[in-house]
Structure 1
Amino acid sequence: MTLHKEGRKILFFSLIIFVGIYFLVDYLTDAPEWVNNSVLGILVVVYFLILQFFRNPSFKIVKNDKHVLAPADGKVVVIEDAEETEYFKEKRKQISIFMSPVNVHVNRSPIAGVVKFCKYHAGKYLVAWHPKSSTENERTTIVVEKPDGVQVLFRQIAGAVARRIKWYVNEGDAVDQGAEFGFIKFGSRVDVFLPLDAKINVNIGDKTKGGRTILAELS
């Protein structure tokens, strides 16, 4: 298990702040011992919660040109035919994955191909499961085209807590299936838009693993 690069500064400064808080409580106040121990316990628990959020597990990615892999760990909250208004401007099959603060927040490319479109949008911070979060929240839209011309759109969406969307690809970049393309700090959501004839392999409420769960199969 390794730590993601996005967490290094946060973990470093959090450690300094937490040590400072404990020093203030333990050495500069007359608080009883049980208070000092309670503060220490709370700080340790909070620090380990932050630590686990930035974990970046290693695993083997099974690549398949016909498969669409989950872009993130989380829970499937939407499966529907929806109008995609930014890029395709037509109906597509939409699958949305909600990422809670306890999920791994590395985002991975569902397919292999070339990035045909990449755009960042500033926006609101509605809760990630809000219906309008896909179009009104801070978000990044990425479209990857396979060698056979099939395109898949995936969108990183910030939530009420997540306000740090990171993406590492640009238009024209080649990406491998399951390769990391971004990261969202704390709770958030990822939408995937597929061709209407895609065979969906998940159901509402299913748990997904980024780069491992097969969301759908393409024709």
Structure 2
Amino acid sequence: MPFNDFIHALDAQLRQPLPGQEAHVKMASATRLRLKVQPNEKTRRSAVLILFYPHREHILLPLILRPKYDGVHAGQMAFPGGRYEKTDENLIRTALREAQEEIGIKASDVQILGKLTELFIPPSNFYVLPVVGKLAYKPDFYPDPREVEAVLEVNLNELLDETIVGFTELDVRGVTIEAPFYDIQGHKVWGATAMMISELLTVIRQ
């Protein structure tokens, strides 16, 4: 599908009721489903950017690999994004600012298409809002090495291939997690990012 036709269709689909939890649960870990942890007074807000752009007849979007560090999301695949700051006028601004800081895209060139369902992440106690946008061109990426080990450019057709879905056991800081995942370019994408991708794909396939 031509990029502009895809963006036009996605823009319309994002204006319809979102699948939300129904899509999230398909890629939720067994631990998450079992524990049913709820937000509390210390829960913070954050946002990520799901950014589509064209390249040689293909539709791409970036994922980032977090560096290994002493944190709950170390070494995991994610969308660029981060926590809400008081200087952000809203969570859309958070997603744009964080994406610019982390991977070097020009935030002012991004056209916002809509949002997916806000998702609670128990390990870090964040509510995260996935913001969907587009660039009219393929950007050059300038990853911040403190926050990004690598940027993966993912073809939308890769995500739409149902054979990339698997199930595994993961050792996360000494705890065994049973979780479904997407195998994307040799990386297991699981947890909140996989749940967001599940909702995104459900919206695209509507």
TM range (shorter): under 0.3
**Higher RCO (Cα < 8 Å, 6 or more apart):** 2
- Alignment TM-score, normalising by the size of structure 2: 0.27
More helix per residue: 2
